[in-house]
Amino acid sequence: MARYWVIAPYDSTETRVFQRVWKYDLENRVIAIGWKDLGDVSQMTEPELRETIRKVYPEGDEESIFGCVWRVYHEISQGDTVIARRGRMKMLGEGVVSKTGFHDMQMAKERVGNLTQKVYPNFIGIEEWKGKEIEFDKVVFSYWPIYEIPEERYRSLIEGKSERETKPPSEDAPRVLTLSNAEDQLFDEIPSDEEEEAEIATRERKINFRKPERKVKDLYNDFKEGDLDPRPRFQRGYVWDIKKASRLVESILLHVPIPVVYTAEQDDGREIVIDGQQRLMSLFGFIDGKFPRDGRDFALSGMQVMAELNGRKFKELDKPIQRDLNNYTIPLITITKDSDKELRFEIFERLNTGSVMLNDQELRNCIYRGAYNDLIRELAQNDDFQSILDQPKLRERMLDVEFVLRFLAFVHKTHLNYRAPMKQFLNREMREQQDLNEDEQARLTKAFKKSVELTRTVFGKTAFRRFVAGSGRSPDGYWERKFNKGLYDVIMYGFTQFEKSQVIPLSDSIREEMLWLMTGNDRFIDAISGSGTDRREKVMVKFDAWLGALHDIIGYSGPEPRTFSAALKEQLWKNNPTCAYEKCGQKIMDLTDAEVDHVEFYWRGGRTIPENARLVHRYCNRARGGGRH
C-alpha cells in the first residue's frame, strides 16, 4: 500500500539557495535531505547507523537524525507520494517516488552550486513533480525534515482547504484574539505537535485583553504591594547588564517609546508579567537604588545622550528628572482572567521570545498555579525518582516535573482516554486538577512513590532506556543513552496495577519480558522509537503490550513458568559466554544482551528447565524464529 510523506527539501530561510535547489529538484526529479557528515549510510544496518550518528553528532538528537535518515533508505518505497514543503505553512508540490534512497555527493554539490557549503546528499527519485503551491493560514506541517502522514491528511492538504485569506480584518473588529487572528497581530507561526493540531472548541477560542497605559510610579507601587509580579517562578532570571538597564532609563527620559509589556491576570486578582520582565525590573531596581542581578548600588552608566547623568543614582537626580521617569507611561496588554486557559497557554507560548525559550512545563507552572502544581514540583524532588532519571540537567528546565505530570495524567485518565497531542493532554490535566484536594494528593503521592520504588528495584539504572538488539552483521546489542518517554509512561503506570508483594518476587521475569518486548516485538519497538511516539495509536500499542505482559507474568497460574531465571542466565554466561545459535557462535559481550532460549521450543511443549536451556544473543533468538524464550 502506498504511503504519504512530507519532506523539507532545504532550509527555507536561505531564499537564494532554496530557489536554486527547488528548481534543481523539479528539473532532475529528485528530493533530498542532509546530514552529509554521516557519509554514505545507504548500506548500513540500524546498529551501524546509530553508532555512526553517535560518533559524528555526539551532542545531537540521535532518535531524530536516525528517524529521518532511516526513512529515506528503508521505509520510503516506489509508488509512495511525497509532498514538498517550505516552512510549516507552505506546500510546494507533490510527486510519486520512482527511485528509493541513494547517496550522491556530486549531485548534492551540483544542486547548491557555489551558494553554500551546506549540501544534502541523501536523495529520493521522483517520477513526476506536480508544482502545486499552496500557502495555508496556519501551521499545517511539522518541523521534522521528513515524516509520514495518513492518506486523509494528504487529501486535505492537496485540496488546499485551508488556503490563506487575504482580506484584511475590519478596523471595527472587537479586541479579542483568536487562533486565526492572533498570528497576524502577534506572531508569524503557530506551534504544533508533529502533524496533530490543537483541538480547542470554537466557542472557547477567545483571549480577552485590555490595553491600559500605566505610569512607571503606579507599576512600581503595585510591585511593592505585591499586586504585580514581574518575576514569576516560570521566568528566567534577570540577565541585563547595568549599561543596558541605564540605556533604558535614558530612553525613557528622552521620551522614546518602549515596547509593550504583556501581563496576565490571575484568579486572585494579581498580575504576572509574561513579557517585559527585564524592562520593569531595571526600572524598579533603579528607583530602589539596587541593581536587580546582584544587589549592588545602581548608578547610571554608559549613557551617551545624557552622559552628564552617568554615575548618579535615582535619589541623586534632580526632582524634575525623577518626576519625568515616574510619570512616563508604559503601554500594556493585559490578558484577563476570564480568557480560555487552553488558548491562553498558546498565547503565552507565542510571547515566549526571550533568549532562553520557555518550555511547555515552565509555561504550565505559570498558568496553572495551585495545589496540583505544588504537588508535582514536590514529587519531582523524590530522591529515588532523581536517581533512576539520572539526568541532573532535567531539573534545570522542569522536565523532571513534566515527567511526574505525565505519570499522574495517565493515572487519572488511563491510556484508554488519551487524546493527542500530548501537550494538550497534559494541559487539560493541569487545568482539571488545579485545586486538588488533600485526599487525592495523598493517593497520588502513594501511587507515585510505589511506582518509583518498584521501577528502581526491578530495572535499576537501565530504567526508561531502550535496549537495541544486534543485527546479522553485528549481533551485539546495546543500551541507548537517551531517556525514553514511552518506556517511562508504561513502566511507571504498569506498577500502579499491582502490589509490591506481587512484583518483587517476579523481578527477573518482568525485566526479561521488557527486554524481549524491546528486541522482539516489532509493534512495541515502533511505538517507543522514531517520531510520533505520542500519537494515540502508538500510545495504545505500547500500553496494551506492557500491561498484557505484566498480567501474564504476575497473574500466571500454570504448573511451570515460560521464562528462565536470571540466576540461570548468569550461570550459563559465566560458564561459557558463546552464543549457542548454530549460525552465530560469537562471544556474547554483555550479560544484558544474552537470552536463555528453549532448545525445544516452549510452544512445542519444551520445558523451562536447565536441561532445555541454552544461551544466545537476543538477536539470534529472533533470527531462529522461535518466538519468546
Residue 195 pLDDT level (bands cut at 50, 70, 90): very low
Residues 6+ apart with CB under 8 A from 337: 264, 265, 266, 267
Q: Which of 135-144, 164-173, 192-201, 355-364 has the lowest mean pLDDT?
A: 164-173
pLDDT band at 214 (very low <50, low <70, confident <90, very high): very high
User: Per-residue b/e over 425-461, b at no fewer than 16 CB within 10 Å?
Assistant: bbbbbbbebbebeeeebeebeebbebbbbbbebbbee
Mean pLDDT of 334-358: 65
H or E element, residue 210? strand 207-210
Q: Over range 449-466, report the average pLDDT.
A: 94
Please check whether residue 571 lies inside any domain of the structure: no
pLDDT digit string, tens, across residues 96-118: 998 888 999 989 899 888 887 78
**Contact assessment for residue 592 and residue 479, using Cβ atoms and an 8 Å cutoff:** yes
Residue 177 has pLDDT above 60, yes or no: no
- Residue 312: per-residue pLDDT: 95
The continuous run of DSSP H or E covering 571 comes out as helix 566-575
Give the 3-state secondary structure of residue 196.
Answer: strand
Strand runs (DSSP E) across 353-470, as ranges?
465-468
Q: Of 319, 350, 381, at which residue does a domain stop?
A: 350
Structural domain ending residue among the three candidates 350, 366, 388: 350
pTM of the model: 0.49
Query: Which residues touch 603 (CB under 8 Å, ≥6 apart)?
Result: 627
- Look over the chain and give the mean of its residue pLDDT values, rounded to a whole number: 81
Q: Are residues 363 and 288 in the same domain?
A: no
pLDDT interval class at 1 (50, 70, 90): low
In a domain, 36, yes or no: yes
Name the pLDDT band for 341 (thresholds 50, 70, 90). Answer: low
Query: pLDDT for 517-556, tens place per residue?
Result: 999 899 999 999 877 889 999 999 999 999 989 988 886 4
Q: Cα 83 from chain centroid?
A: 24
| 623, part of any domain | no
Pairing label, strands 122-135, 4-7: unpaired
Same domain, 333 and 224: yes
Query: Coil, strand or helix: which one is 82?
Result: strand
Residue 192 lies in a domain: no
* Amino acid 368: pLDDT: 82
Check which CATH number belongs to the domain holding 56 and give it.
Answer: 3.10.590.10
- My answer on whether 292 and 433 are in the same domain is no
Q: What b/e readout covers 243-255, taking b as 16+ CB neighbours within 10 angstroms?
A: eebbbbbbbbbee
Do 363 and 344 share a structural domain?
Answer: no
Note the pLDDT tens digit of each residue in 224-233: 999 998 876 5
DSSP-assigned beta bridge partners for residue 81: 4, 96
Element (H, E) at 261: strand 261-265
- Res. 59 pLDDT band, cuts 50 70 90: low
94, 139: one domain: yes
Which comes out higher in pLDDT, residue 404 or 205?
Answer: 404
235-239, 398-402, 442-446: lowest mean pLDDT where?
A: 235-239
What confidence category does residue 352 fall into, taking pLDDT thresholds of 50, 70 and 90? low
| Mean pLDDT within 20-42 | 87
Q: Could you report the per-residue pLDDT of 575-628, keeping only the tens digit for each?
A: 899 998 888 888 998 888 888 888 877 655 577 788 788 999 888 887 766 544
Alpha helices (H) along 414-506 = 422-432, 438-459, 485-494, 500-503
Are residue 376 and residue 288 in the same domain, yes or no?
no
User: Which of the listed residues 99, 125, 158 is the one where a domain comes to its end?
Assistant: 158
Tell me what pLDDT residue 24 has.
87
Answer yes or no: do 263 and 377 share one domain: no
628 dihedral zone (left: phi>0; alpha: psi -120 to 50; beta): beta
Q: Are residues 124 and 21 in the same domain?
A: yes
Q: Do 334 and 399 fall within a single domain?
A: no
Q: What percent of the chain has pLDDT over 70?
A: 83
* pLDDT of 357 strictly over 60: no
384 domain-assigned: yes
Identify the H or E element spanning 7: strand 4-7
Indicate whether 312 belongs to any domain: yes
Residue 67's pLDDT is 79
Residue 400: inside a domain: yes
Nearest to 18 by CA among 32, 2, 37: 32
Please indicate, yes or no, whether residues 49 and 119 belong to a single structural domain of this protein.
yes
Chain-centre distance of CA 393, in angstroms? 15
Say if 443 falls within a structural domain: yes
With helix as H, strand as E and coil as C, how does 99-145 read?
Answer: EEEEECHHHHHHHHCCCCCCCCCEEEEEEEEEEEEEEECCCCCCCCC
- Verify that 57 and 108 share a domain, yes or no: yes
Of residues 485 and 87, the one with the higher pLDDT is 485
Domain count, the chain: 3
542 and 403 housed in the same domain:
yes
- Between CA 84 and CA 74 the distance in angstroms is 19
Domain that holds residue 378: 358-491+525-547
CA dist., res. 436 & res. 370, Å (int): 8
Look-up of cell digits 512616563: 328
Residue 598 · residue 608 · CB < 8 Å: yes
